[in-house]
């Protein structure tokens, strides 16, 4: 048995217990036990109102009314409902006991202490879900979706996590893995059993299988940025020269007076960040100081922070004053923004012609020349005109991309990295095959691609990787 096997078995050989509800005061709280001794430990501290006979086992998946009692002193701790659930029809596929008590921190802590004194071990963060993974109830991608579902703050993020929990991403990864595995099996059969006169695989057949895997991986990667936005939200920087109405626009999108607004140019001297819900998406709006040369050291710091905000943004709102002709500073701001992002992938931007309640002095085509191809929206923070159109453009750009409706979406940076590495190995295998090199070399790249894909669903996950992933979970889940 390897050290890694020992580390994995350490998670499943004993019975664990934890408070499964969030810290704080509530009407109800749950203490959960999971493992081979869960029923024995549960019965030591739970006394049902209708006592069981010595030979009688508590009915599975039914609520029993009774009390938690300290067996050492026979002191009643709380009036509770307890559910005894036999494996494998449980969250962890182990015997599970859940005690639903009153939600006071003291009460729950006392029940947990009794469970630990009776033989349970305190669960580590995410250890319940880890056991569900190790026992085959969910794969690793589905296990990660549990935490994403708990942390979801928007309908879009909730739907994405639920789809991943239901296995959509795992099915797509499995299909890509299946194509690569079929190709590798054909190669290894011809290499390992030459005495059986296994014919070498048809290069055209191998090329088709490898290409199929590549296309599936490419499709998953195409939706990765969109999936991240759905899960984490869209970071949007409002940029422009001073006094074009960036802070007013922030307040209008937030529906509250968050940023200070005055007629004096340069009122905003630091970035102001707030989160709004727009089109079902979490949008992190960053109001920035006007990009302008200055001898004021404080203002220079604000401008540098504005540049940093623009670099880190997923989308830029280039705000212009539509009631004034285009100024040289507007052009220099646009040029600087292009320079900030020229070494990165194309950054989407929306041109916002603000102050639409005043007579227009800036033609659309003149503004459009600053950022060709960017959507242009005229807004008035005074009347609210154009705000709905701007929000629609924000949502459209956030949800755009090459991913098709219904495709499984990658929302995890870990999954994206594994897919990227897998794609590199698949492409290398294609080149090796096309150049007529020995099939052993093709198999090496295919094996590396399979290992990378297996990191997503858990087939090739190491104990260290599992520790890193589940350390992010809350205790009791």
214-257 pLDDT tens trace: 999 999 998 887 787 777 778 888 888 888 888 888 888 887 66
Closest CA to 80 of 20, 28, 13, 146: 28
Instruction: Say what the pLDDT of residue 1 is.
Output: 33
pLDDT beyond 90 at 9 = no
Instruction: Say what the pLDDT of residue 412 is.
Output: 87
User: What are the tens digits of pLDDT across the range 122-142?
Assistant: 999 999 999 999 999 999 999
Instruction: Say what the pLDDT of residue 288 is.
Output: 76
Instruction: Say what the pLDDT of residue 191 is.
Output: 75
How would you list the strands of the sheet with 75-85, edge to edge?
Answer: 46-48, 62-70, 75-85, 96-103, 26-34, 16-19, 121-122
Strands 16-19 and 121-122, sheet pairing? parallel
Please state which CATH number belongs to domain 145-223+409-457.
Answer: 1.20.120.430
pLDDT beyond 90 at 153 = no
Lowest pLDDT segment from 117-121, 348-352, 446-450: 348-352
More confident residue, 388 or 275: 388
pLDDT beyond 70 at 106 = yes
User: What are the tens digits of pLDDT across the range 20-78?
Assistant: 998 889 899 999 999 999 999 999 999 999 988 877 889 999 999 999 999 999 999 99
Sign of CA dihedral 134, 140, 142, 146: positive
Q: What is the CATH architecture of 229-398?
A: 3-Layer(aba) Sandwich (3.40)
Residue % of the chain over a pLDDT of 90: 53
- Stretch (H or E) spanning 150: helix 140-151
Instruction: Say what the pLDDT of residue 100 is.
Output: 97
Closest CA to 29 of 116, 99, 129: 99
DSSP track, 419-446: HHHHHHHHHHHHHHHHTT--HHHHHHHH
Average pLDDT over residues 343-352: 74
Instruction: Say what the pLDDT of residue 75 is.
Output: 96
DSSP track, 187-253: HHHHHH-GGGTPPPPPHHHHHHHHHHHHHHHHHHHHTHHHHHHHHH-EEEEEE-STTSSHHHHHHHH
Q: Are 81 and 65 in contact (CB under 8 A)?
A: yes
User: What are the tens digits of pLDDT across the range 449-473?
Assistant: 999 999 999 999 888 889 889 988 8
Nearest-angstrom CA–CA distance, 185 and 236 = 47
Q: Where are the alpha helices (DSSP H) in 34-96?
A: 38-45
Sign of CA dihedral 462, 466, 469, 472: negative
Nearest-angstrom CA–CA distance, 250 and 336 = 22
pLDDT beyond 80 at 326 = yes
Nearest-angstrom CA–CA distance, 269 and 412 = 34
pLDDT beyond 60 at 382 = yes
- Stretch (H or E) spanning 78: strand 75-85
Instruction: Say what the pLDDT of residue 402 is.
Output: 41
Average pLDDT over residues 365-390: 92
pLDDT beyond 50 at 3 = no
Half-sphere exposure of 340 (CA within 13 A, CB side): 22
Closest CA to 14 of 35, 43, 28, 31: 35
Confidence of residue 91 (pLDDT cuts 50, 70, 90): very high
Confidence of residue 293 (pLDDT cuts 50, 70, 90): low
CB atoms within 10 A of CB 322: 25
| pTM for this model (two decimals) | 0.76
Instruction: Say what the pLDDT of residue 111 is.
Output: 97
Lowest pLDDT segment from 319-333, 381-395, 403-417: 403-417
Rg (CA), the chain: 29
User: What are the tens digits of pLDDT across the range 11-24?
Assistant: 568 999 999 998 88
User: C-alpha distances in angstroms, 70 versus 78, 105, 177, 397?
Assistant: 10, 17, 53, 59
Instruction: Say what the pLDDT of residue 291 is.
Output: 62
Instruction: Say what the pLDDT of residue 197 is.
Output: 63
Average pLDDT over residues 103-122: 96
pLDDT beyond 90 at 212 = yes
Instruction: Say what the pLDDT of residue 8 is.
Output: 45
pLDDT beyond 80 at 115 = yes
Q: Whole-number mean pLDDT of the chain?
A: 85
Domains of the chain, residue spans:
3-139, 145-223+409-457, 229-398
- Stretch (H or E) spanning 85: strand 75-85
**Superfamily of structural domain 3-139:** Probable tRNA modification gtpase trme; domain 1 (3.30.1360.120)
């Amino acid at each position: 048995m390897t050290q890694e096997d020992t580390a994995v078995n350490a998670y499943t050989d004993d019975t664990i217990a934890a408070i499964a509800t969030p810290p704080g005061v509530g009407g109800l709280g749950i203490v959960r036990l999971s493992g081979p001794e869960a029923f024995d430990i549960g019965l030591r501290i739970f006394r049902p109102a209708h006592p069981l006979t010595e030979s009688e086992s508590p009915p599975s998946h039914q609520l029993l009314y009774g009390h938690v009692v300290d067996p050492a002193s026979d002191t009643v701790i709380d009036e509770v409902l307890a559910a005894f659930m036999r494996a494998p029809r449980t969250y962890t596929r182990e015997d599970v006991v859940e005690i639903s008590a009153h939600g006071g921190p003291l009460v729950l802590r006392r029940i947990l202490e009794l469970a630990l004194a009776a033989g349970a071990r305190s669960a580590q963060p995410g250890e319940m879900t880890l056991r569900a993974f190790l026992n085959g109830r969910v794969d690793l991608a589905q296990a990660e979706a549990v935490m994403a579902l708990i942390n979801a703050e928007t309908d879009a993020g909730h739907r994405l996590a639920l789809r991943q929990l239901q296995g959509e991403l795992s099915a797509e990864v499995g299909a890509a893995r299946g194509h690569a595995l079929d190709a590798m099996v054909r190669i290894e059969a011809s290499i390992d059993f030459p005495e059986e006169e296994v014919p070498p695989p048809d290069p055209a057949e191998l090329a088709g299988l490898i290409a199929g895997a590549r296309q599936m991986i490419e499709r998953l990667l195409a939706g990765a940025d969109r999936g991240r936005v759905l899960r984490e939200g869209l970071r949007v920087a409002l940029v422009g020269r001073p006094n074009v109405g960036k802070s007013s626009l922030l307040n209008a999108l937030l529906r509250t007076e968050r940023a200070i607004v005055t007629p004096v140019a340069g009122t905003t001297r630091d970035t102001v960040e707030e989160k709004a819900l727009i089109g079902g998406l979490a949008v992190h709006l960053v109001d920035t100081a006007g990009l302008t040369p200055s001898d004021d050291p404080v203002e220079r710091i604000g401008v540098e922070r504005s540049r940093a905000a623009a670099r880190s943004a997923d989308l830029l709102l280039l705000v212009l004053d539509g009631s004034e002709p285009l100024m040289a500073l507007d052009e220099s701001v646009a040029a600087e923004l292009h320079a900030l992002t020229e070494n990165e992938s194309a950054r989407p931007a929306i041109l916002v012609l603000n102050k639409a309640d005043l007579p227009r002095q800036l033609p659309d085509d003149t503004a459009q020349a600053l950022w060709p191809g960017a959507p242009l929206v005229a807004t008035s923070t005074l009347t609210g005109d154009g705000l709905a159109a701007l929000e629609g453009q924000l949502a459209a750009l956030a949800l755009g991309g090459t991913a098709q409706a219904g495709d499984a979406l990658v929302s995890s940076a870990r999954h994206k990295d594994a897919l990227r590495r897998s794609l590199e190995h698949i492409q290398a295998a294609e080149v090796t095959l096309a150049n007529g090199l020995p099939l052993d070399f093709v198999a090496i790249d295919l094996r590396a691609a399979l290992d990378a894909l297996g990191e997503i669903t858990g087939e090739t996950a190491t104990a260290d990787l599992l520790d890193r992933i589940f350390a992010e979970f809350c205790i009791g889940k």
